[in-house]
Amino acid sequence: MHELGITQNIVVIVSEHAKAKKVLRVVLEIGKLSAIMPDAVQFCFDICTQGTVLEGSTLEIIEIPGLARCRQCGTEIALDKPFGVCNCGSVHLDLITGEELKIKEIEIEEVCV
């Protein structure tokens, strides 16, 4: 399960950006064509955040649909796998979206002095 390693890296990156402040929420974008299972990341997140500034934080995952452009006719088509066939019959597609793995947002607790 490569999601465990991916989630561990996400926790490290977010922890570094939080600079020892408590993280309340993390928003990820995961493309449907990325071969990363959002449910597995969610499961791993709770385990990987234990004992870190992310412990108890909420993980929100936005799934980005697959979208490609046909090289032959320029039509954009939705994809649910990393390959497909355009209505014109061409299989030469350039992926536009769907392979993302991005930390989109981090919410950090404000500390009042």
Binding site, annotated residues for Ni(2+): 2
What amino acid is encoded at 18 in this protein?
A: A
> Which DSSP symbol is given to 4?
H
Q: Is 32 helix (H, G, I), strand (E, B) or coil?
A: coil
Binding-site entries for Zn(2+) = 70, 73, 86, 88
User: Which of left, alpha, beta for 65 (phi over 0: left; psi -120 to 50: alpha)?
Assistant: beta
